[in-house]
Amino acid sequence: MNAQAWLNLISDFLFPGNCPICEGPPYRRMDSYMCLECMDELPWITGGGCKLCGIPMSGMEFGGLTCQSCREEVRSFRAGRSLFLLDRNGRKLVHEIKYHGVRCVLKDLPHWLERCGGIPEYLEDALLIPVPLHGKRLKSRGFNQSLWIARALNDEIAGTEVLEILMRERNTPSQTKLDRKSRKANVKNAFALKPRTCLDTKKPMVLVDDVFTTGATLDSCAQVLSGMGCEDVRVLVLGHG
């Protein structure tokens, strides 16, 4: 048993958790928090899809086209990738991180990247910018899951850098129960660049979040970066749905 496997076992003893899909004991395979069988059941997004949100498009095996939802919007980012679809299992995985604060799930990121393909190339030399929480929500929750995801990506993909340069100026209501139009209005002008921020506007900027639903939050963040002259703004999320 290698050192990481021992650390996983000790971590589970001190901070017990469960596989987010079947709720069985974690680390059954030593190097994976989630059961590998459960991981295989997630609807991973492989191959091509919508160039702006990453959702698979029927009959497509290449990127470059946009889905109907993205065609109906004017996006402020030029490309997007999602790792998996938010079916029942996908939602359970995201909820384990977002609402239960189980950061250990993100130790499985290397396995996730193997199943998706092309993510390291998509993030090459990029600045990873987590979508921020408002100060009140951050204090209440105790963590920003988007920052966790960005740091996990940074640990796995050489040449990237995490920058916390955005702030949420308005404590907007949750987007969960809002329709598309209301989501867009809810986050309009909700974000801003932190004071005294200097940016290399030539580098790829990748906004990182947990989910892509309508893209309203990500687009509002992208507008800030585009307004500062950033030429290559992209997004990457865990789940799409």
Q: What residue numbers bound the domain in which 227 lies?
A: 50-85+120-240
pLDDT reported for residue 15: 46
Q: Is residue 163 part of a domain?
A: yes
Looking at residue 41, its pLDDT comes to: 94
pTM for this prediction: 0.89
Q: Which of 107, 76, 118 is nearest to 228 (CA)?
A: 76
Task: Return the pLDDT at 11.
Answer: 53
Asked whether 172 and 201 are in contact (CB, 8 A), the reply is no
Q: What is the CATH number of the domain that holds 178?
A: 3.40.50
Give pLDDT < 50 ranges for the chain. 13-15, 60
Looking from the CA of 161 toward its CB, the CA atoms found within 13 Å total 9
Q: Is the residue at 208 inside a domain? A: yes
Summarize pLDDT for 140-150 with one digit per residue, the tens. 999 999 999 99
Structural domain count of the chain: 1
Residue 203 lies in a domain: yes
pLDDT given for residue 4 in this prediction: 53
